[in-house]
Amino acid sequence: MSYTPMIQQYLQIKAEYKDCFLFFRLGDFYEMFFEDAKKAAMELEITLTSRDGGGEERIPMCGVPFHSSENYIKTLINKGYKVAICEQVEDPKATKGVVKREVVQLITPGTVMEGNMLDEKENNYLAVIRMSEDRSFALAYSDLSTGETFVMQVNTGWDTVVSELYNRPIKEVIVDDTLEQKWLDELQLQLQLTVSYIRDSECNEAIHSLVEHIHDPFLQETSSVLYQYLYTTQKRAFDHLKEVQVIELEQYMQLDMSSKRNLEISTSMMRKEKYGSLLWVLDRTVTAMGARKLKKWLEKPLLHVRLVEQRLELVEGVLSHFMARDGLREALQSIYDLERLSGRVSFGNVNARDLFQLKRSLEKVPEIIEQLQQFDHPEITKLSNQMDPIPSLVTLLNESIEENAPISITEGNIIKDGYHEQLDQYRDASRNGKEWIAALEQQERQATGIKSLKIGYNKVFGYYIEVTRANLHLVPNDRYERKQTLTNAERFITEELKEKEATILEAEEKSVDLEYDLFIQLREKVKAYIPQIQRLADMISDWDVLQSFATVSDDNNYVRPSFTDSHHVQLQESRHPVVEKVMKDETFVPNHVTMEDDKHILLITGPNMSGKSTYMRQLALIIIMGQIGCFVPCKEATLPIFDKIFTRIGAADDLVSGQSTFMVEMLEANHALQQATDQSLILLDEVGRGTSTYDGMALAQAIVEYIHHHIQAKTLFSTHYHELTSLADSFESVKNIHVRAEEMNGHVVFLHQIQEGAADESYGIHVAKLAGLPDELIERASVILEQLENKDPKHTANDSEARSLEQMSFFAEEPSPPKKKVKADPIQEKIMELNLLEMTPMEAMNQLYELQRKAKENKG
């Protein structure tokens, strides 16, 4: 098929960017053709047209205007697509054939730089994952908009890689062919990441200085791959990229994916949003940089007591002076996003308004320093003195950038008067041209004595001095040059008028062009300050998080925790920070948590809805808050440093992988048992409820015994298996506690108070009554419960039949065939045929619906 040269050019370029939408520049539009056009028209909801491309059929086509393309690109990026920007790289007037075009930038979810495509309070990470020959992993991730990059080695398997990716704002991941397909599926389906492949293995020379300090070759090579992807896709150098920071996972508390999800650290489980999470409670930051820093600290709680105490000491210093803290918050509110501004300066998409905001931000730094010194705290004063307001940059920007500069850098009016002599002359000529001409005319009349002399202008000859024939003898021939002869007059030009003519006529055009050049030069000068700006941004974001901790602690009556070398846990009147805030005017019932050195396991019994899960979660959240350097919701808190937290809370099926509640439960429990140490915290809520009663009880007891004998981690284990409470009699490290509930006039009242000892009863029927189940059902359940408790012979007749319908044991062999074949009810036969362990929850629900329908038909 013979396409036109332009379409052939398009196809040739598209072949190199098969996984991208190719925005092909044609005049004032970005056009797309063939399958790109069909898909883009659908995703962007724009008109699909067609054009003649030289083939037998018309080619599908759609396009977006160049000047408004940013919003269309944003839409595609937000949906996980990539966009290759293909521009004309030569003047169409200078060529007779097809204009040369090249891809000048590849925009992907992980390489976004435009402000309206970024969440100001979230990082936007691009990651790379590589596996070594010994099946360990290297994970590097970078935020192009801020220039920060991190790399880590993962020796504990793929699950740890996923946990590191989860709940961190990574939008795109680069892989090679060493990763297994099931892992790629998990990245795309469960984590919903855009997957890209390594494009270029050769490293740009500029990369070496950013990675040469990394001693591990595997980590250095992985970091280089990440940087090379940035250079290859963005087609430019980056002065704002920082040296890679090597993260030693052993230096931070480890939280696996299920723990981050179950504890609702950054997002709530129900709404999948910030509201209702620990981050929501703690975020009283006033800068975008501070909000991002807070999230990083939450992702990586500290393990070194010295570092934790340093943060706590600073928080206490800020907390103790309300007026100074209020002044600090007010000063911080004027700080622009210095991190991303540095990236925009380096990337080349900064505008004059951005630079003016940079100046305003830097001008606020002395006020921030002054407010910090108001705290009269030696460490705060010491750190505040290390802040550099960069006065030379403030002076440069103050002299150069106009306060009301437009967003566009090609329309002029961005450079101040007095900054550049030539620009001032252009502006003077443009603004005062007529006045200058009038003044020159008067000057020449006086010099020549020709009172009728006048200066005029036309498009052909430009500016001229006109003298009537009667006065030609007064013309100074040494200065005047004849320009044009008229019937009654002569027109002349002088060297001075020639110079001014050029200045006046070209002033508008030249001033705009010169302003653009001056702005580019200014941007290059600002680039030299990027390291100083980044250091300042890092310090300002630290103070923003610290004042946020102090503000939250002051508002909510949090206290400074104490850390001990022993493994003793003592919380007086502890509260759940999120539940307490959500309750607002209602009073949260506080509870003590006591776990001596020799008491590792708390067995928690009590009715549903009584607060067992809240009690367990609040301990974990208080530990995390303490280890990021924040005060905690207690009256008093003494804690050890925990290295890991594991949770098995909730009963949500893994619908994506088709795993049942019980399988998810066992996988999460196994992960805790395999990874936990005696310095860890394990939270297990109702383990074993997803299978038959006896299986569940056996598993629950075996897990408690295993933790007691082999791990000795601090463990909170809630259960409805009251038989397990006897373990406290057998094992010294096990202690029974329960949530108080009282029955009053046939109604149960949950007191939400934790007391020592085991619960007397479960109050399950009372909970069902609270949930609004029909009275008839509640009355029948009460009768059945009484029969079971009294072992009523009338009820035991049906026991064997009930047990035959009980869920198949998870560990049982295949059931033996019945000795005697009895004609069974069709519905019962169908139930016996079902293999529940191999069904997804949705399949089970469909089968149940079908069985119910048949039962109703038979009854009818």
**Domain of residue 361, residue span:** 305-403+524-554
What mean pLDDT comes out for the span 129-154?
95
Instruction: State the average pLDDT over residues 267-282.
Output: 92
Domain assignment present for 563: no
In the prediction, which pLDDT does 170 show? 95
- Residue 751 is inside which H or E element, if any? strand 747-756
Report the alpha-carbon distance of residue 557 to residue 209 in Å, rounded.
Answer: 48
Q: What is the mean pLDDT of the chain?
A: 87
Q: Residue 432: what pLDDT?
A: 80
Q: Which of 101-105, 389-393, 567-571, 801-805 has the lowest mean pLDDT?
A: 801-805
> 151 and 94 in one domain?
no
One domain for residues 157 and 242: yes
* CA quadruple 52, 55, 56, 59: dihedral, nearest 10: -50
* pLDDT tops 80 at residue 824: no
Helices (H) and strands (E) in the chain, counts: 30, 27
Q: What is the pLDDT of residue 332?
A: 97
User: What pLDDT was estimated at residue 789?
Assistant: 64
Question: Is the pLDDT score of 806 beyond 70?
Answer: no
Looking at the predicted structure, is the pLDDT value of residue 811 above 60?
Answer: no
Q: Where is the domain boundary, 76, 107, 138?
A: 107
| 694 C-beta neighbours (distance < 10 Å), count | 12
Residue 822, SS3 per DSSP: coil
Cα(860)–Cα(846) distance, rounded to whole angstroms?
21
CA distance 573 to 528: 53
Q: Are residues 506 and 531 in the same domain?
A: no
Tens of pLDDT along 589-637? 999 999 999 899 999 998 777 788 999 999 999 999 999 999 999 999 9
Please report whether residue 256 resides in a domain.
no
Give the rounded distance of the alpha carbon of 749 from its chain centre: 42
- pLDDT score at 693: 72
SS3 content of the chain, % helix, strand, coil (to 5): 45, 20, 35
Q: In this model, does residue 814 exceed pLDDT 60? A: no
Cα 663 from Cα 669, distance rounded (Å): 10
Judge whether residue 648 has pLDDT over 50. Answer: yes
DSSP state of 277: S
Whether 786 maps to a domain, the answer reads: no
pLDDT of 339 > 80? The answer is yes
Residue 39 lies in a domain: yes
Across 301-363, where does the E strand assignment appear?
none
Q: Is 413 annotated as a binding residue?
A: no
- Give the pLDDT band (50/70/90) at residue 460: confident
Do 709 and 749 belong to one domain?
yes
Q: Are 468 and 489 in contact (CB under 8 A)?
A: yes
Does the pLDDT value for residue 639 go beyond 80?
Answer: yes
pLDDT average, residue stretch 14-26: 95
Which residues are CB-neighbours of 343 under 8 A, at least 6 positions away?
113, 144, 145, 146, 147, 238, 240
Contact in structure between 197 and 176 (CB atoms under 8 Å) = yes
| Total number of domains in the chain | 6
Residue 400 DSSP class:
H
Predicted pLDDT at 131: 94
Give the sign of the dihedral formed by CA 771, CA 777, CA 779, CA 781: negative
Res 200: pLDDT: 66
CB count within 10 Å of CB 825 equals 10
User: Rounded to 5 degrees, what are φ and ψ at 420?
Assistant: -140, 125
Q: How far apart are CA 225 and CA 230, in angstroms?
A: 9
189 backbone dihedrals φ, ψ, rounded to 5° = -85, -50
Query: Does residue 429 carry a pLDDT above 90?
Result: no
Considering only 368-382, 574-588, 756-770, which range has the smallest mean pLDDT? 756-770
Instruction: Tell me whether residue 93 is exposed, middle or buried, using C-beta atoms within 10 angstroms of its C-beta: 0 to 12, 13 to 18, 19 or more.
Output: exposed
Based on the fold, state whether residues 359 and 473 are members of the same structural domain.
no
Token couple for 531? 């390291």
Q: Is 609 annotated as a binding residue?
A: yes
Among the ranges given (446-455, 475-484, 830-839), the one the predictor scored with the smallest mean pLDDT: 830-839
Q: Which residue has the tokens 């979660």?
A: 617
User: For residue 842, with 0-12 CB atoms within 10 Å meaning exposed, 13-18 middle and 19 or more buried, which class applies?
Assistant: exposed
User: What is the side-by-side order of every strand in the sheet holding 462-468?
Assistant: 454-458, 462-468, 489-493, 481-485
Calpha distance 8→11 (Å, rounded): 5
CA distance 764 to 205: 68
Q: What does the alpha-carbon distance between residue 84 and residue 111 come to, in Å, rounded to a whole number?
A: 12
Q: Which stretch of 91-95, 106-110, 251-255, 684-688 has the lowest confidence by average pLDDT?
A: 91-95
- What was the pLDDT predicted at 697? 85
Asked, for residue 491, whether it belongs to a domain, the answer is yes
User: Would residue 271 count as lying in a domain?
Assistant: no
Instruction: Tell me whether residue 539 is annotated as binding.
Output: no
Q: Are residues 545 and 598 in the same domain?
A: no
Residue 317 placed within a domain: yes
For residues 91 and 166, state if they share a domain: no
What does the pLDDT read at residue 364?
97
pLDDT tens digits along 217-231: 999 999 999 999 998
What is the band of 587 on the pLDDT scale with cuts at 50, 70, 90? confident
CATH code: domain of residue 235 = 3.30.420.110
In this structure, are residues 851 and 831 in contact, taking their beta carbons and an 8 Å threshold? Answer: yes
In the listed set 251, 273, 297, which residue is the last one of a domain according to the structure? 251
- Per-residue pLDDT band at 38 (split at 50, 70, 90): very high
C-beta contacts of 811-819 below 8 A and 24+ residues apart: 811/695
Name the pLDDT band for 581 (thresholds 50, 70, 90): very high
* Token pair listed for 488: 């009654």
The pLDDT score that the predictor gives to residue 740 is 81
Sheet containing strand 194-197, strands side by side: 194-197, 170-175, 125-131, 137-143, 148-154, 245-247
Find the mean pLDDT for residues 817-840. Answer: 60
What 8-state DSSP symbol labels residue 67? Answer: G
Residue 768 has pLDDT above 80, yes or no: no
pLDDT in tens, 466-525: 999 999 999 998 899 999 999 999 999 998 888 888 777 778 788 889 999 999 999 999
What phi and psi, each to the nearest 5 degrees, are found at residue 727?
-60, -25
CA distance 640 to 608: 30
Residue 733 has pLDDT above 60, yes or no: yes
Final residue before a domain boundary, out of 227, 251, 275: 251
612 is in an annotated binding site: yes
What does the alpha-carbon distance between residue 595 and residue 88 come to, in Å, rounded to a whole number?
A: 70
**Would you state the pLDDT for residue 30?**
97
| Residue 384 marked ligand-binding | no
755 located within any domain? yes
674 and 765 together in one domain: yes
> What pLDDT band is residue 747 in, cutting at 50, 70 and 90?
low
Cβ neighbours, 10 Å, residue 824 = 12
Angle of helix 661-675 versus helix 693-706 axis, rounded to 10? 10
Q: What is the CATH number of the domain that holds 12?
A: 3.40.1170.10
The answer on pLDDT for 842 being more than 70 is: no
Question: Does residue 688 have a known ligand-binding role?
Answer: no
Taking the model in full, what pTM does it have?
0.82
Residues 451 and 104: their CA atoms lie apart, in Å, by 63
Residue tagged 């500029």 (tokens) = 206
Residue 738 has pLDDT above 60, yes or no: yes
Nearest-Å Rg of the Cα atoms of the chain is 37
Distance (Å, whole) CA 276 – CA 261: 12
> What value does the mean pLDDT take over residues 109-125?
91
Considering the domain architecture, whether residues 507 and 597 belong to the same structural domain is answered as no
Q: Which of 261-265, 482-486, 849-853 has the lowest mean pLDDT?
A: 849-853
Q: In this predicted structure, which of 237-241, 317-321, 475-479, 674-678 has the lowest mean pLDDT?
A: 237-241
- Euclidean distance between CA atoms 361 and 444, whole angstroms: 52
Task: State residue 164's pLDDT score.
Answer: 92
User: What average pLDDT does this structure show over 636-660?
Assistant: 75
Q: Are residues 376 and 309 in the same domain?
A: yes
Q: Name the nearest CA neighbour of 128 among 111, 103, 107, 106.
A: 111
Say how many Å lie between the first and final Cα of the chain, rounded.
69
Which of 64-73, 118-127, 613-622, 737-746 shows the lowest mean pLDDT across its residues?
737-746
Amino acid 745: pLDDT? 65
Helix boundaries (H) for 577-713: 577-583, 612-627, 661-675, 693-706
Residue 481 maps to which CATH number?
1.10.1420.10
pLDDT of the residue at 375: 94
Q: CA 703, CA 602: separation in Å to the nearest integer?
A: 13
Q: Are residues 391 and 427 in the same domain?
A: no
Least confident of 89-98, 361-370, 581-590, 700-709: 89-98
Sheet holding 591-595, edge to edge: 562-563, 636-639, 569-574, 591-595
| Residue 707 CB partners (closer than 8 Å, separation 6+) | 600, 601, 673, 676, 682, 713, 715
Among residues 213, 241, 217, 239, the alpha carbon closest in space to that of 227 is found at 241
CATH number for the domain including 733? 3.40.50.300
Amino acid at 540: I
Q: Are residues 75 and 100 in the same domain?
A: yes
Closest residue by Cα to residue 571 from 642, 629, 634, 645:
634
pLDDT over 70 at 809, yes or no: no
SS3 536: helix
